[in-house]
Amino acid sequence: EIVAGIEAMMGDGPLQGRHVVVTSGPTHEPIDPVRYIANRSSGAQGTALARALRDLGARVTFVTGPASVPPPGGVEVVQIETARQMLDAVKTALPADAVICAAAVADWRVANASGSKMKKDGSGKAPALDFAENPDILATISQMKKGRPALVVGFAAETDDVVAHATTKRERKHCDWIVANDVRPATGIMGGTENAVTLISETGAEEWPRLPKDEVARGLAARIAAALGAGG
Amino acid sequence: EIVAGIEAMMGDGPLQGRHVVVTSGPTHEPIDPVRYIANRSSGAQGTALARALRDLGARVTFVTGPASVPPPGGVEVVQIETARQMLDAVKTALPADAVICAAAVADWRVANASGSKMKKDGSGKAPALDFAENPDILATISQMKKGRPALVVGFAAETDDVVAHATTKRERKHCDWIVANDVRPATGIMGGTENAVTLISETGAEEWPRLPKDEVARGLAARIAAALGAGG
């Protein structure tokens, strides 16, 4: 792994000299000092993608939430917890040729998170949680007026109508591609080792076969290199 | 580890022939297929306690949420996710000489959890989450009219007024002991390798020094053996 990282940095892969930012993993949104809202992302797909981009010679900034798999070697790792921290880290990492938003970001945070542990008061009523919408990292980067990366890619975890939802999402967020997948528990994809993705671009929807996440990552990295006019 | 487990099962420790149920780890309460509410428990203290009880010869049923440390060998492991599943598993494991509730159980669950991934609708408003109070496992077992275990112990994670809160909790729940600790993030206890506990019993509060979680576990296991009149 370390050797691969050094080879990539010193080699002449098609992404040599390019900077790619990859977000990965879940975000955690605190409720109080001991509780938080999480999601079932393991970070496996984002990690595999960062590794594949590194192997093609890219300089990779890897912005990761609390993942259950270790980050790859040979990339710059930025550890964050919340969606707001993730957006800050991505902005700080710019400029970049591409930003790949593979993280499963919480759409909402708890607006009234408590500094002390919330307690049951005997009334049987839960303390009211107020939610605030988190910044949309994919849309924010996609709609930058100045210095927008040449390629902005989002991942979409869907449980139904995958292509329709992902196509709408691509248009609404103004990103270049959406990598959509079906995360219904029955698929075993979220937290699993395989992925079945549909790549949504301006030319339409392209369904890939179910593959190990490493192979999905290598396929996407090659497409990213091609899109950046870097061969591959 | 396996050898220790076998030795304990075949040996003559002070808890030989006794059955102890230990709950451990966090619980996860689903919001929708990809999101859940979690807490920062690693399961390390409950796991160490199960191991220490096993080493004193007890038959241990280990009811564990999604922990970040592996369960000990030589115990019966029951994996659960939610608080309601944990209560069911504890009841199923009875009768027992002692029940030790070391898990960090969610006080509330999401009453209107969704079968599909909840989506932003563009309004900027989060979907309303309704909360329902989870069953109180410690209080339920402590107040069993028939077949109550001789010793029921709860853990209390507190962020302020540790002794006062824990003493009140012991009386309200009718358990025998509360093992209280201070989980303010600054202590590094939740998710860390050390613990500083206060043992609250009918004779008062006994503050233990900060120790590795394994040593806290051995101390508690010895006290449990003594309380069950089993030497130790």
pLDDT in tens, B15-66: 999 999 999 999 999 998 889 999 988 899 999 999 999 999 999 999 999 9
How close A69 gets to chain B, by Cα (Å)?
12
Q: Which residues in chain B have their CB less than 8 angstroms from residue A33's CB? A: 159, 183-185
Q: Which residues in chain A have their CB less than 8 angstroms from residue B125's CB? A: 133
Does the distance separating the beta carbons of B31 and A36 come in below 8 Å?
A: no
CB proximity B37 to A under 8 Å:
yes
How close A189 gets to chain B, by Cα (Å)?
11
ipTM of the complex: 0.76
CB proximity B120 to A under 8 Å:
yes
Token pair of B189, please?
A: 């206890």
10 Å Cβ neighbour count for A2? 9
Does the distance separating the beta carbons of B190 and A34 come in below 8 Å?
A: yes
pLDDT in tens, B122-165: 676 777 788 889 999 999 999 999 999 999 999 998 888 999 99
Does the distance separating the beta carbons of A37 and B38 come in below 8 Å?
A: yes
Does the distance separating the beta carbons of B37 and A36 come in below 8 Å?
A: yes
Residue-level pLDDT, tens digit, chain A, 232 residues: 655 555 555 667 999 999 999 999 999 999 988 899 999 888 999 999 999 999 999 999 999 999 989 999 999 999 999 999 999 999 999 999 999 999 989 888 988 888 887 877 767 677 778 888 999 999 999 999 999 999 999 999 888 899 999 999 999 999 999 999 888 878 887 777 899 999 999 999 999 999 999 999 999 999 999 999 964 4
Spatial contact of B42 and B24, defined as CB atoms under 8 Å apart: no
CB proximity B91 to A under 8 Å:
no
Q: Residue A4: enclosing H or E segment and its boundaries?
A: helix A2-10
Q: Which of B179, B39, B137, B31 is nearest to A108 (CA)?
A: B31
Tokens 């949420």, located at residue? B65
pLDDT at B127: 74
Q: DSSP string covering A105-158, please? A: --SEEETT--SS-----SSSPPPPPPEEEPP-HHHHHHT-SSS--SEEEEEEEE
Chain B: residue whose CA lies nearest to A106: B35
Spatial contact of A220 and A213, defined as CB atoms under 8 Å apart: no
Alpha helices in chain B (DSSP H): 2-10, 44-55, 83-93, 137-142, 162-173, 213-227
Q: Let me know if A39 is a catalytic residue.
A: yes
pLDDT at B8: 54
Average pLDDT over residues B4-13: 63
Q: Which amino acid is at A17?
A: G
CA distances for A170 relative to A41, A106, A179, B92, B125, angstroms: 21, 18, 10, 49, 21
- Three-class SS state of A23: strand
Q: Which residues in chain B have their CB less than 8 angstroms from residue A42's CB? A: none
CB proximity A171 to B under 8 Å:
no
DSSP state of B208: P
In this predicted structure, the answer to whether residue B90 has a pLDDT above a threshold of 70 is: yes
pLDDT at A130: 84
Does the distance separating the beta carbons of A34 and B104 come in below 8 Å?
A: yes
pLDDT at B185: 76
Q: Which residues in chain B have their CB less than 8 angstroms from residue A132's CB? A: 126
- When pLDDT is cut at 50, 70 and 90, the band that residue B3 belongs to is low
Q: Residue B161: enclosing H or E segment and its boundaries?
A: none
Spatial contact of A28 and A45, defined as CB atoms under 8 Å apart: no
How close A186 gets to chain B, by Cα (Å)?
10
- Partners of B158 in the β-ladder: B182
Spatial contact of B184 and B159, defined as CB atoms under 8 Å apart: yes
For A183, the closest of B34, B38, B39 (CB atoms) is B34
Please give the Cα distance from A1 to A213 (Å, whole number).
17
Q: Which residues contact B122 (CB under 8 A, 6 or more apart)?
A: none
Spatial contact of A84 and A135, defined as CB atoms under 8 Å apart: yes
Q: Which amino acid is at A83?
A: A
Q: Which residues in chain B have their CB less than 8 angstroms from residue A116's CB? A: 159-160
User: Considering the entire predicted model, what is its pTM?
Assistant: 0.80
Q: Which residues contact A185 (CB under 8 A, 6 or more apart)?
A: B33
pLDDT at A188: 80
- Three-class SS state of B222: helix
Q: Which residues contact B45 (CB under 8 A, 6 or more apart)?
A: B24, B102, B155, B195, B213, B216, B217
Tokens 């590094």, located at residue? B188
In this predicted structure, the answer to whether residue B9 has a pLDDT above a threshold of 70 is: no
How close B182 gets to chain A, by Cα (Å)?
11
Q: What is the mean pLDDT of chain B?
A: 90
In this predicted structure, the answer to whether residue B12 has a pLDDT above a threshold of 90 is: no
How close A16 gets to chain B, by Cα (Å)?
36
Q: Which residues contact A123 (CB under 8 A, 6 or more apart)?
A: none
pLDDT at A232: 40
Chain A: residue whose CA lies nearest to B160: A116
CB proximity B36 to A under 8 Å:
yes
CB proximity B106 to A under 8 Å:
yes
